[in-house]
Amino acid sequence: MSDLLFDGAMEYAARAMDWSYRRQELLTSNLANLNTPGYKAQDLDFTRIMADACGTPGPDRLHTTHPAHIPAGTGETSAHTVPRADGGRLDGNTVNLAREMAGLAENSYLYQTLQRSVGQKLRLLKQAISGGG
Amino acid sequence: MGVFDALDISLSGMDAQAKRLELISSNLANARTTRSDEGNVYRRKDIVFSAVPQQTAGRGGFAGEVRGHKVVCAGVVEDGRAPKRVHDPSHPDADEAGFVEYPNIEPLEEMVHMMEAIRTYEANITGFNTTKEMIKKALEIGR
């Protein structure tokens, strides 16, 4: 039986939307703290998120050896947050306005793309339920 | 930390800059004020910002996870710069030598701070609007 409709794509997209929203929280924090001395701009480490999602073993990661184990660390924002060290100002603040604004636009489009793909998947389901009518 | 906390973070940024603008206006308005309640001459005021981590509510294994930083006003500080001494013996606040102490406020400096505050305020509005659009989009799923 073909699993065209329930292939997990919707779940992946939903999870990606969650990450995208978490990035939004970090980007808005960076903007709010544009003038806070010593504040380090935060961003998500997508390489690590991807590695975690794919289950790539890492030296600093906990592994589940039993199906009943609860995976530790995955899905946590703090574990995937990296402070941006470059481009610091004299007051120790590393927020770069242009970069945050670009990130905001990029993130917004990513979120919309994911939202649309979830919508399309649902539309497919609806079509199948109604017999293509 | 809920869905609307990203909006709260942007709001805290706008709020902080608005408070900063109040102090800048006060500094400009009192550039030549020789009398105030604290002492004789008005002192330039500045705001101190502090980043406050926003944590997830106590539920499950991810409780206390930091998911962003709000900005709060930690306090108002007075500038320690010495007042400008101007020779004006006819002024009622002049000392025995005929010097009047005026606040050490540079209008240009205040204007630069004002521009910075306005730009940061605007950046936070943009952040707020993008978050709002994202929440709106999420609500459209399945429509």
Report pLDDT digits (tens) over A21-64. Answer: 999 999 999 999 999 999 999 998 887 788 777 766 555 555 66
Domain count, chain A: 1
Comparing alpha-carbon positions, the chain B residue that sits nearest to A35 is: B49
B36: contact with A, CB 8 A cutoff: no
Instruction: Quote the pLDDT of residue A73.
Output: 47
Range of the domain at A95: 9-129
Distance CA A84, CA B43 (A): 37
Instruction: Quote the pLDDT of residue A24.
Output: 94
Instruction: Quote the pLDDT of residue A49.
Output: 81
Range of the domain at B12: 5-139
Instruction: Quote the pLDDT of residue A48.
Output: 79
A16: contact with B, CB 8 A cutoff: no
Mean pLDDT of A98-118: 93
- Tell me, yes or no, whether A60 lies in a domain: yes
Instruction: Measure A65 CA to nearest chain B CA, in Å.
Output: 19
A97: contact with B, CB 8 A cutoff: yes
Both tokens assigned to B140 = 């459209």
Question: Using 50, 70 and 90 to split pLDDT, how confident is the model at A4?
Answer: low
Task: Name the nearest CA neighbour of A11 among A125, A106, A126, A121.
Answer: A121
Angle at which helices B107-139 and A97-129 cross, to 10°: 10
CA distances from A41 to A71, A73, B6, B70, B98 (A): 28, 22, 15, 13, 52
Comparing alpha-carbon positions, the chain B residue that sits nearest to A98 is: B123
CB contact under 8 A, B68 and A39: no
Distance CA A50, CA B113 (A): 41
What percent of chain A shows pLDDT beyond 90?
38
Q: Burial of A104 by CB count in 10 Å (0-12 exposed, 13-18 middle, 19+ buried)?
A: buried
- Tell me, yes or no, whether A4 lies in a domain: no
Answer for the pair B24, B117: CB distance below 8 angstroms, yes or no.
yes
CB contact under 8 A, A26 and B1: no
A28: contact with B, CB 8 A cutoff: yes
Instruction: Measure A62 CA to nearest chain B CA, in Å.
Output: 14
Instruction: Measure A18 CA to nearest chain B CA, in Å.
Output: 10
What average pLDDT is seen over chain A? 82
Task: Name the nearest CA neighbour of B11 among B99, B133, B128, B139.
Answer: B128
Instruction: Quote the pLDDT of residue A59.
Output: 53
- Between chain A and chain B, the number of residue pairs with CB atoms below 8 A apart is 122
CB contact under 8 A, B130 and A105: yes
Question: Using 50, 70 and 90 to split pLDDT, how confident is the model at A79?
Answer: confident
Q: Is the pLDDT reported for residue B4 higher than 60?
A: yes
- Tell me, yes or no, whether A3 lies in a domain: no
- A10-19 residue pLDDT tens: 888 888 999 9
Distance CA B72, CA A36 (A): 9
- Tell me, yes or no, whether A15 lies in a domain: yes
- Tell me, yes or no, whether A111 lies in a domain: yes
Beta strands in A41-113 (DSSP E): 42-44, 81-83
Q: Is the pLDDT reported for residue B105 higher than 90?
A: yes
Domain count, chain B: 1
Q: Burial of A48 by CB count in 10 Å (0-12 exposed, 13-18 middle, 19+ buried)?
A: middle
- Tell me, yes or no, whether A46 lies in a domain: yes
Buried b (16+ CB within 10 A) or exposed e, B107-121: eeebeebbeebeebb
A9: contact with B, CB 8 A cutoff: no
Residues in chain B: 143
Partner residue opposite B65 with nearest CB, options A77, A118, A122: A77
- B72-93 residue pLDDT tens: 999 999 988 899 999 999 999 8
Query: Which of A10-14, A102-106, B25-29, B55-59 is predicted least confidently?
Result: B55-59
Indicate the residue type of B9: I
Chosen for mutation from A22, A35, A62, A106 (greatest number of chain B CBs closer than 10 Å) is A35
Partner residue opposite B9 with nearest CB, options A32, A72, A77: A32
CB contact under 8 A, B71 and A42: no
- Tell me, yes or no, whether A56 lies in a domain: yes
Instruction: Measure B42 CA to nearest chain A CA, in Å.
Output: 25
